[in-house]
C-alpha cells in the first residue's frame, strides 16, 4: 500500500514553481482537480482545527461563559455547541442571513439542547456543518479545518503572516503547502471514514467565494456506557491529533493511495514567493474583496518592494 501521507521537500523556490507549472511533477498530480490545499506559514503548525488547539482553550471558555478547564471530549462538545447556539441566536436576532437549523430553533428557549448533547451520536451533526462553516469564517473556533480549491490561494495564506508582520514561531525553517486528495470520498467504501468534506454556500459571502474555501471535519462518535439501566457519559480525554496522524492511523483499503501531500519550502524564499504571487494577482484585494483588501494590498507592497524602496531612498539622498 502507498503511503497515506507523503512529504516532498524543495530546496529552492524555482524547483517548486517548475514542479507546479505545466508539465511539472506536481502539476501532473494536481491538474485533475481532485485536490484541495492549505497553506501554513510555519513547519511548527499542525493540521489541527481551531477548536482543538491548546491555545484556543481560554477563548472557548470565554465564549461559552464557562469557568471549567476540563479537557474531556464531552465537555468540549458542550462548549462548542453552546457557542454555536449563541452565535446563531445573536445573528438571527440582528437579522443576518443564516441557514435554517431546526434543532436550534426548536430549543430557542431552552437553557441547553440536551437531546443533541446526549442522544446525537455524531459530532458535528450534518445540519450544523453550514452554521459551523459560517462561524469559523468569522473567527469562532470549531472542529472545521479551512482549505481552498485554489493552490495559489493556499500559498498566499502561507506567506500572508510575513507580509503583515504576524506571529511566526521561533525556529521556523519552512513554510508548508498541504494538498489533500478528495476524490476517494466519492467512493461507497469511504462512507464510513470519519473525514468529511464541507462545502459552504458562497452566496452573500464574498470572502469565501474569492478564496474558493471549503472545510474538512474529522467526525467523532460520542461514546456512552450503560450502568444499571442509566446512560453514563464516557468522559474520555479530548483528542487533539492532527489530521495527518489521524489519516495515518485510520484503516484504509490497500487501493486508497496517497491522500495527503506535505510540500515544504524553505522560509528563506518567502519574499520571492510573495513577489511571484503578487505578479499572478494573488494579493489581499483578491483574497478579501472590498476596501479592506485594497488597504491590506498597499501594506503588503511595502513588504514586497521593501528593497526597491530602500534603493529609491538612496537615489533621492544622492540627488
Average pLDDT over residues 177-204: 86
Inform me whether the pLDDT recorded for 237 exceeds 80: yes
| pLDDT the model gives residue 134 | 95
> Which of these ranges, 1-5, 76-80, 97-101, has the smallest mean pLDDT?
1-5
Cell numbers 474538512 correspond to 216
Summary mean pLDDT of the chain: 90
Cα(189)–Cα(140) distance, integer angstroms:
33
- Burial of 265 (C-beta count, 10 Å sphere; 0-12/13-18/19+): buried
Dump pLDDT digits (tens) for 134-151.
999 999 999 999 999 999
pTM of structure = 0.92
Q: What is the DSSP string of 235-288?
A: -PBPP---HHHHHHHS---TT----EEEEEEEGGGHHHHHHHHHHTT-SHHHHS
Q: Classify residue 72 by its DSSP letter.
A: B
Q: Where are the domains of the chain?
A: 5-270
Cell numbers 502561507 correspond to 158
The number of beta carbons lying within 10 Å of the beta carbon of residue 83 is 23
Angle at the Cα of 178 from the Cα atoms of 156 and 193, rounded to 5 degrees:
135
Inform me whether the pLDDT recorded for 314 exceeds 60: no
| pLDDT the model gives residue 121 | 85
Amino acid at each position: 500500500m502507498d503511503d497515506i501521507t507523503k512529504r516532498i521537500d524543495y530546496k529552492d523556490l524555482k524547483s517548486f514553481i517548475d514542479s507546479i507549472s505545466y508539465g511539472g511533477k506536481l502539476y501532473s498530480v494536481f491538474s485533475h482537480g481532485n485536490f484541495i490545499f492549505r497553506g501554513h506559514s510555519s513547519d511548527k503548525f499542525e493540521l489541527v482545527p481551531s477548536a482543538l488547539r491548546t491555545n484556543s482553550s481560554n477563548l472557548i471558555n470565554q465564549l461559552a461563559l464557562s469557568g471549567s478547564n476540563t479537557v474531556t471530549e464531552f465537555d468540549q462538545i458542550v462548549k462548542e455547541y453552546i457557542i454555536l447556539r449563541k452565535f446563531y441566536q445573536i445573528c438571527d436576532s440582528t437579522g443576518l442571513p443564516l441557514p435554517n437549523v431546526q434543532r436550534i430553533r426548536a430549543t430557542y428557549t431552552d437553557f441547553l439542547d440536551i437531546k443533541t448533547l446526549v442522544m446525537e451520536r455524531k459530532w458535528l451533526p450534518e445540519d450544523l456543518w453550514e452554521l459551523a462553516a459560517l462561524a469559523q469564517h468569522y473567527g469562532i473556533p470549531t472542529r472545521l479545518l479551512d482549505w481552498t480549491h485554489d493552490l495559489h490561494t493556499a500559498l498566499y495564506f502561507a506567506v500572508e503572516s510575513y507580509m503583515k508582520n504576524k506571529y511566526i514561531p521561533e525556529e521556523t525553517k519552512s513554510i508548508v503547502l498541504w494538498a489533500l486528495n478528495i476524490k476517494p470520498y466519492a467512493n461507497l467504501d469511504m462512507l464510513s471514514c470519519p473525514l468529511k468534506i464541507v462545502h459552504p454556500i458562497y452566496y452573500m459571502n464574498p470572502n469565501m467565494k474569492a478564496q474558493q474555501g471549503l472545510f474538512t471535519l474529522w467526525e467523532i462518535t460520542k461514546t456512552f456506557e450503560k450502568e444499571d439501566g442509566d446512560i453514563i457519559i464516557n468522559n474520555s480525554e479530548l483528542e487533539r491529533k492532527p489530521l495527518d496522524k489521524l489519516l495515518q492511523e485510520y484503516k484504509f483499503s490497500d487501493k486508497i493511495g496517497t491522500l495527503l501531500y506535505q510540500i515544504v519550502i524553505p522560509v528563506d524564499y518567502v519574499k520571492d514567493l510573495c513577489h511571484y504571487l503578487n505578479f499572478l494577482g494573488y494579493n489581499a484585494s483578491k483574497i478579501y474583496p472590498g476596501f479592506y483588501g485594497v488597504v491590506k494590498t498597499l501594506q503588503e507592497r511595502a513588504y514586497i518592494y521593501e528593497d526597491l524602496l530602500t534603493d529609491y531612498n538612496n537615489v533621492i539622498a544622492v540627488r
